[in-house]
Structure 1
Amino acid sequence: MESNSAGSVQYDRWNEDNINMNVEASQSTWRRLYSRVCVGNTGTVVKAAGAGAALVSVYIIGYVTGYYIHRCS
């Protein structure tokens, strides 16, 4: 039995002519938009702004609903 310290898997050499390093071009438009807007510091700001907008809209809907329910006739 042969035993190698790195294992018995043998890797072929890469054909350098067939390696496609242009990862950005192979991604879809939605994936590139997500990577640009939703990741990192920009993603944190976008998520905070979205949460703030949702909170304000729920407050406004509750205020208007409460006004029409509790107004005096």
Structure 2
Amino acid sequence: MEPQESTVQYNQWNNSQDEVSMSVSTLESSGCERVYNKLCTGKLGIAMKVVGGIVLFWVLFIIGYVTWYYIHKCK
């Protein structure tokens, strides 16, 4: 994590109106962080996790099937 710079400004116009404004500026995110934020958060992140889970299931299923086939193959 990179440090963030923040500033707080307080302006008092009169006794009945107060205004507080806060701004936070961050340094430029690295490429990996931007890709992670794009692909792993929000609705796209949920979709990527679902698709990844389905793909992982089928890969393990196929590996298990092929392994079972060669172990139990008649000689």
* Structure 1 and Structure 2 fold alike (TM over 0.5): yes
**Residue number among 50, 53, 62 corresponding to 1:51 in the alignment:** 53
Post-superposition, which runs of at least 4 consecutive aligned residues in structure 1 deviate over 4 A?
Answer: none
Greater CA radius of gyration, 1 or 2?
A: 1
- Structure-1-length-normalised TM-score: 0.66
Structure with the largest fraction of helix: 1
Q: Give, in angstroms, the shift of residue 30 of structure 1.
A: 0.4
Using the alignment, how far apart are the partners of 1:41 and 1:20 within structure 2? 26
Counterpart amino acid of residue 60 in structure 1: I
Unaligned runs of 5+ in 2: 1-7, 10-22
Identity of aligned residues (%): 35
Structure with the largest fraction of strand: 2
The aligned counterpart of 2:3 is none
Using the alignment, how far apart are the partners of 1:20 and 1:34 within structure 2? 21
Q: Give, in angstroms, the shift of residue 55 of structure 1.
A: 0.5
Unaligned runs of 5+ in 1: 1-11, 14-18
Counterpart amino acid of residue 53 in structure 1: V
Say how many residue pairs are matched. Answer: 56
- Structure showing greater relative contact order (alpha-carbon pairs closer than 8 Å, 6 or more residues apart): 2
1:31 aligns with 2:33: yes
Q: Give, in angstroms, the shift of residue 20 of structure 1.
A: 7.8
- Structure-2-length-normalised TM-score: 0.65
